[in-house]
Chains A and B, each alone.
Chain A
Amino acid sequence: MKSNTKQGTVTRISITLLIIVVSLISIFPLLWMLMVSLKSGRDIIDPSIWIFKPTLDNFKEAIQYRNILGYLRNSFIVVIITTVISIFIGGLAAYGFARFDFKRRENTAFWILSLRMLPPMAIVIPFFIMAQLLNVLDTHIVLIISYMLFNIPFAIWMLRGFFEEVPEEIEEAALIDGCSRFQVFTKILLPLTTPGLIATAIFCIIFSWNEFVFALFLTSTSSTTLPTTVNLFLSITGTEWGEMAAVGIITVLPVLIFAMLVQKYLIRGLTFGGVK
């Protein structure tokens, strides 16, 4: 018995250690990027320096000469609009799939899921040609619409699962009380599934904020988003790494903070309606 508890302690300690190591590996690149972004001069390319006087020069440079605030604004505009529209349209469709029985329902639902899997690099070529013909290259609207192709299927898939968890009796009672179907949807179902809406929104936001291929091809100077800033630093030397790290921090921080704030919903949403 005694040796048993001893072994238990050893296992527990090694598991704890393992978890700590995994956590550190997970955040190390972020911490390293933060450190580099606060360094100056030769320190930037000297990995042995861990203690230094932090400076915000790299951030100032990036904002002054690289127009980072412009990228940031574009990212916000595109992400917010595409997420709101996708959740609205996807939510409506999810309700249709969750509450009505119709022919070929499952096949249609799985067809929609498969659209989420399309390779951006294949889709972006015709999108590029079409955007050129319609004269909408380098506008916010072209990115907003492109991202809907991925966000709407995802929103339908997620929200359907959350809607189906709500007992139908609640809605039936409201229908008898004289509410229309649409009122039932907006006034009863949506408030009841707020966690699901938040979880869906998080993934739409993370996806759209981080999307690279469409942003790279369809937009350039006036509407391009933060992930394409990597183009500014492709062939990079010496102290420019400091600026690159600063831009990287500005890019990842908003979505990271947001994800932390809604952590609970994010983890709940991760079963993607797969377990019933």
Chain B
Amino acid sequence: MRLYFTRNPHLVYIMPAIIILLVLTIFPAILLVLLSITDYELGASSFKVVWLENYNRLSTSPEFWNSLKITLFFALITTSVELVLGYFLATLLDREIKLKFLVFACLIVPIAMTPSIAGQIWKLILNADYGIMNHLFDKILGFEVSWLSQSNALMSTILVDIWQFTPFVTLILYAGLRSLPEDPYEAATMDGANRFQLFRYITLPLLRPIILLAVLFRLIDSLRIFDIPFSLTEGGPGNATEFLSLFIYRLGFAETGWLGRSSATAVILLVLIIAISFLLINLLKERKDDTI
């Protein structure tokens, strides 16, 4: 045993972390999958194995498909808008600016602000009757919007997410832009490259790992979002903003206590997220292997 550790000195360092992480993931994952094939209800004393019935029921449930659809829509829209907007703002900041630290201080506010609380204050800001947003809209544009109604709630949730996380993307890309070497730009400018060419052939490839990282963080975070819509809309009105996490919550805990079916949905969310992060992490990994 001693000899084994002498031969593999790294194990002493990485083992504590690996053991903790394995215990915290393997048992819960097995338990979750087991739950998903039972009809267990919250607080029930007995249950039976129903195999794939929970999954079958989900596949014919319009609520589930709606939830999946709006989750994917939400994730795609927020991630791409935040990426484009974030890049644009990062290039704006990547120059001499007076009081830059103050600008950063402002941008850090959404990043550090508790999302559940942010959702709540936005609920007040967007309130149709006494929210400041409609007050301003009325004064300046002469009309009001029912921000949190059935047809607008999803868009409003997207707006709040963009407000909260664009600064995060901005600062990541800013840090990335700052770390770029200057030589290739000088060489390319001498060769007569225009700004688009500089962006396409120099910035983009050099920034690729950072962009991938930003996409990874934002895409995964918005696929598993729970806190903002929980306090902003509670998944409603109706099912308008019932993202997968909220669907799982309502099914298993808030309304019905069907833990079995809720777990089946959780397994689907888990598989979806593992697949997407596997894909993105592999892209990151390729890059890392190149540099070694």
A241 at interface by CB-CB < 8 Å: yes
Q: Do A117 and B103 touch (CB < 8 A)? A: no
Q: Do A118 and B270 touch (CB < 8 A)? A: yes
Q: Do B273 and A117 touch (CB < 8 A)? A: yes
What 0/1 readout, one digit per residue, does chain A (107-122) give for beta carbons within 8 Å of chain B? 0101011110111111
Of B20, B130, B131, the contact of A148 (CB 8 Å cutoff):
B20
Q: Do B175 and A29 touch (CB < 8 A)? A: no
Known: A47-B131, A149-B21, A212-B226. A125 touches B14 (CB 8 A): no
What 0/1 readout, one digit per residue, does chain B (1-30) give for beta carbons within 8 Å of chain A? 000000011111110111011001101110
- Measured in the bound complex, the distance between the Cα atoms of B119 and A228 in whole Å is 12
What chain A residues lie within 8 Å of B291 (beta carbons)? 276
Q: Do A241 and B124 touch (CB < 8 A)? A: yes
What chain A residues lie within 8 Å of B220 (beta carbons)? 117
Known: A89-B17, A113-B281. A32 touches B132 (CB 8 A): yes
- Measured in the bound complex, the distance between the Cα atoms of B130 and A118 in whole Å is 38
Q: How far is the CB of B177 from chain A (nearest CB, A)?
A: 10
A275 at interface by CB-CB < 8 Å: yes
- Measured in the bound complex, the distance between the Cα atoms of B27 and A17 in whole Å is 54
Q: How far is the CB of A23 from chain B (nearest CB, A)?
A: 4
What chain B residues lie within 8 Å of A45 (beta carbons)? 130
Q: Do B16 and A115 touch (CB < 8 A)? A: no
- Measured in the bound complex, the distance between the Cα atoms of B245 and A229 in whole Å is 19
Q: How far is the CB of A180 from chain B (nearest CB, A)?
A: 11
Q: Chain B interface: which size bin?
A: 35 or more
Q: How far is the CB of B183 from chain A (nearest CB, A)?
A: 16
Stretch of A55-63, A93-101, A190-198 with 4 or more beta carbons under 8 angstroms from chain B: A93-101
Q: Do B216 and A117 touch (CB < 8 A)? A: yes
- Measured in the bound complex, the distance between the Cα atoms of B20 and A100 in whole Å is 21
What chain A residues lie within 8 Å of B267 (beta carbons)? 122
Secondary structure at chain B's binding surface: helix, strand, loop or mixed? helix
- Measured in the bound complex, the distance between the Cα atoms of B128 and A123 in whole Å is 36
Interface residues of A in 212-262 (CB under 8 A from B): 212-213, 217, 226-230, 233-234, 241, 244-245, 248, 251-252, 255-256, 258-260
What chain B residues lie within 8 Å of A244 (beta carbons)? 120, 124
Known: A29-B125, A248-B120. A255 touches B28 (CB 8 A): no
Q: Do A46 and B130 touch (CB < 8 A)? A: yes
Q: Do B119 and A230 touch (CB < 8 A)? A: yes
User: In this complex, which of A45, A119, A213 has the most chain B Cβ atoms within 10 angstroms of its Cβ?
Assistant: A119
User: In this complex, which of B8, B121, B224 has the most chain A Cβ atoms within 10 angstroms of its Cβ?
Assistant: B121
What chain B residues lie within 8 Å of A73 (beta carbons)? none
Q: Do A256 and B115 touch (CB < 8 A)? A: no
What chain A residues lie within 8 Å of B119 (beta carbons)? 230
A19 at interface by CB-CB < 8 Å: yes
What 0/1 readout, one digit per residue, does chain B (29-63) give for beta carbons within 8 Å of chain A? 10110010000000000000000000000000000
What 0/1 readout, one digit per residue, does chain A (70-90) give for beta carbons within 8 Å of chain B? 000000000000000000011
Interface residues of A (CB under 8 A from B): 15-16, 18-19, 22-27, 29-30, 32-33, 36, 45-48, 89-90, 92-93, 95-97, 99-100, 102, 106, 108, 110, 112-115, 117-123, 125-127, 129-130, 145-146, 148-149, 152-153, 156, 181, 206, 209-210, 212-213, 217, 226-230, 233-234, 241, 244-245, 248, 251-252, 255-256, 258-260, 263, 266-268, 270-272, 274-276
Interface residues of B (CB under 8 A from A): 8-14, 16-18, 20-21, 24-25, 27-29, 31-32, 35, 89, 92-93, 97, 101-122, 124-125, 130-132, 135, 163, 167, 171-172, 174-176, 179, 209-210, 212-213, 216, 220, 223-224, 226-227, 230-231, 234, 244-245, 248-249, 252-253, 259, 262-263, 266-267, 269-270, 273-274, 277-278, 281, 284-285, 288-289, 291
24 pairs, A vs B, C-beta closer than 8 Å: A19-B93, A27-B106, A47-B131, A96-B10, A96-B13, A110-B284, A115-B25, A117-B273, A121-B266, A123-B32, A125-B252, A125-B259, A126-B31, A126-B35, A153-B21, A212-B115, A212-B230, A248-B114, A256-B108, A263-B108, A267-B175, A271-B172, A272-B172, A274-B284
